[in-house]
Amino acid sequence: MALMRKSLDVFFRPESVAVVGASPKREKLGYAVIENLIRMGYQGKIYPVNPNYPEIQGLKAYPSVKELPEPADVGVILVPAEASVEVLKELVEIGVMHVVIVTGGFGELDEEGLKRQQEIVEISKKTGVRIIGPNTTGIVSTPGRFSTTFTRGYIRPGSVAYVAQTGIFGGLVSSLISTREYFGISRIIGLGNKVDVDDADALEYLENDPETKVIIMHIEGLKDGRRFMEVARRVSRKKPILALKSGRTPAGAKASYSHTASLAANDAIVDAAFKQAGVIRVNDYVDLVNYAKVFAYQKPPRGNRVGIASISGGLGVMTADACENVGLEIARLSDETIRRLREASPHIIEIGNPYDIWPSISKVGVNTAYKIGIDAMMEDQNVEAILAGFGPAEGFELENPSLISDASKKNPDKPIVAYATGDWQLVERTREALEKLSIPVYYSPENAAQALAIMYQYSRIKSG
């Protein structure tokens, strides 16, 4: 490469943005992009560009890129594919060196689109302009209150960065997280056709991004596997990387080829490469979200010995199965812990791990039973992580969830995950209460155990 590649940083906190193809018509993408910027409370200057309107959504509009009052930090291209190469050239001419090309109709569409895409690649290489896209929703940066996306809906700020391959799916997953989860998002980077900025670049940026604690990715095709591996290996020592690599079966790969013309790698090789690079692979976006959650809320354990508090004997058995099944060990509780748990339970009950908390609830009530149970396990040196089960029912709800989160805060290196089942309204209420206190809640012991196992897997990745 002839030129020193510019940092991506400006994409995430630009002081000004030119939106080429801005529109006053509600059904247009160029309307939604401006609307999202205003709704997010973007503090920089917005320059709508459109030759047909003097004003768009209350903002002065400019007839062309050349007439902009300054080279904006970021340019967003929303005009049709045929016009976009020209617009890109004009942006670079006036000095805009960070551009998001939202427009589709390039390499993913046909021969002609591919030619246009190659022109863009050339411009980027020759001038050093950094380009995200084309064919993408682009960037969301909650700390920068900045977005180039046309997807509507509030994105909650938080510590999870999402590197997305495709537009519609990326938008759906962001929407899923924002409307269903209590954790938030730091950055979304929608890579689209990756003419310039690719997965490795995104990881490199996120490596030192102080707003990001966890990285989740959806990858359909990698252009430069070797570089991705190099960067991922370095970044994964600092922050967990969870990746959904689709096109993993012959059928999926075939679908991927007709969809993005990206050639599939042999999936066994991808698998081995991810392992070597410390990338945690998942096969389902629901898992991607579920496991992002555990990293957003808790720290990895030092070992794999789990203390289990279950809401019934039967669920204790299932939880033990679930833990063993994913390589976790059932901790041998210390005598002191047994003593404390016995004190909180009716005298006839045998105490062990899994610890059936129900008899204790019947003796000392829900709040006290969980407090004693979880405190005892947190203070037990034989226990390195806790899996707590809840079965909320009328009259048996946890009234003071901070009793649990207090113990968790005092022992940050002992992660605690929970599951809840039963009456759905009460389950969701329990989830909200606990997750707002950073205790992740799943719907079954299996899911909770998997989340713990992935944290344990990461603690080994981190230590090399």
CB of 355 to its own copies, least distance (A): 10
The kind and range of the H/E element at 77 are strand 74-77
Closest listed residue to residue 419, CA positions, set 435, 399, 403: 435
Using CB under 8 A, pick the residue from 45, 94, 128, 169 that binds its own copies.
169
**Cis bond upstream, residue 240 (ω within 30):** no
* Angle made by CA atoms 180, 184, 185, in degrees to the nearest 5: 120
Residues 226-245 that bind its own copies (CB under 8 A): 244
Candidate segments 6-14, 136-144, 195-203, 282-290, binder of its own copies by CB under 8 A: 282-290
DSSP alpha helices (H): ranges in 280-401?
Answer: 285-297, 313-325, 335-343, 358-364, 366-378
Using CB under 8 A, pick the residue from 16, 117, 193, 260 that binds its own copies.
260
Using CB under 8 A, pick the residue from 246, 298, 411, 457 that binds its own copies.
246
Binding-site size for its own copies (CB under 8 A) equals: 74
Given a contact cutoff of 8 angstroms between Cβ atoms, the answer to whether 415 and 301 are in contact is yes
The answer to whether residue 391 forms part of the interface with its own copies (CB under 8 A) is yes
Using CB under 8 A, pick the residue from 5, 126, 237, 259 that binds its own copies.
259
Using CB under 8 A, pick the residue from 14, 144, 171, 301 that binds its own copies.
171
CA 343 to chain centre: 43
Residue 365 makes CB contacts below 8 A (sequence gap 6+) with none
Cα 76 to Cα 445: distance, rounded to the nearest angstrom: 45
The answer to whether residue 290 forms part of the interface with its own copies (CB under 8 A) is no
CB of 277 to its own copies, least distance (A): 21
Residues 425-454 that bind its own copies (CB under 8 A): 425, 427, 443-444, 446-447
The answer to whether residue 399 forms part of the interface with its own copies (CB under 8 A) is no
Candidate segments 4-12, 194-202, 336-344, 345-353, binder of its own copies by CB under 8 A: 345-353
User: What are all long-range contacts of 202-206, with beta carbons under 8 Å and residues at least 24 apart?
Assistant: 202/8, 202/163, 203/163, 203/228, 203/231, 203/232, 203/235, 203/241, 204/8, 204/231, 204/235, 205/7, 205/8, 205/9, 205/12, 206/161, 206/163, 206/235, 206/239
Residues 91-150 that bind its own copies (CB under 8 A): 108-110
Residue 46 makes CB contacts below 8 A (sequence gap 6+) with 16, 17, 19, 34, 37, 38, 59
CB of 298 to its own copies, least distance (A): 22
Given a contact cutoff of 8 angstroms between Cβ atoms, the answer to whether 61 and 50 are in contact is yes
Reduced to 3 states, what is the DSSP secondary structure of residue 400?
A: coil
In the bound state with its own copies, the residue whose beta carbon lies nearer, of 44 and 252, is 252
Candidate segments 43-51, 90-98, 118-126, 166-174, binder of its own copies by CB under 8 A: 166-174
The answer to whether residue 408 forms part of the interface with its own copies (CB under 8 A) is no
CB of 93 to its own copies, least distance (A): 31
Tokens 């730091």, residue? 186
> Hey, how many other C-beta atoms are within 10 angstroms of the C-beta on 83?
13
Closest listed residue to residue 130, CA positions, set 204, 215, 73: 73
Residues 302-321 that bind its own copies (CB under 8 A): 311-321
Cα 348 to Cα 309: distance, rounded to the nearest angstrom: 18
CB of 426 to its own copies, least distance (A): 8
DSSP alpha helices (H): ranges in 310-365?
Answer: 313-325, 335-343, 358-364
In the bound state with its own copies, the residue whose beta carbon lies nearer, of 129 and 427, is 427
Using CB under 8 A, pick the residue from 30, 144, 300, 354 that binds its own copies.
354
In the bound state with its own copies, the residue whose beta carbon lies nearer, of 420 and 433, is 420
Using CB under 8 A, pick the residue from 93, 95, 412, 424 that binds its own copies.
424
Using CB under 8 A, pick the residue from 59, 172, 265, 437 that binds its own copies.
172
Residues 14-43 that bind its own copies (CB under 8 A): none
Candidate segments 116-124, 170-178, 200-208, 402-410, binder of its own copies by CB under 8 A: 170-178
What are the residues facing 390 on neighbouring strands? 420
Using CB under 8 A, pick the residue from 116, 130, 187, 218 that binds its own copies.
218
The answer to whether residue 154 forms part of the interface with its own copies (CB under 8 A) is no
The answer to whether residue 284 forms part of the interface with its own copies (CB under 8 A) is yes
In the bound state with its own copies, the residue whose beta carbon lies nearer, of 191 and 434, is 191
The answer to whether residue 194 forms part of the interface with its own copies (CB under 8 A) is no
Q: Which amino acid is at 38?
A: I
- Burial class of residue 348 (count of CB atoms within 10 Å of its CB; 0-12, 13-18, 19+): exposed
In the bound state with its own copies, the residue whose beta carbon lies nearer, of 152 and 339, is 152
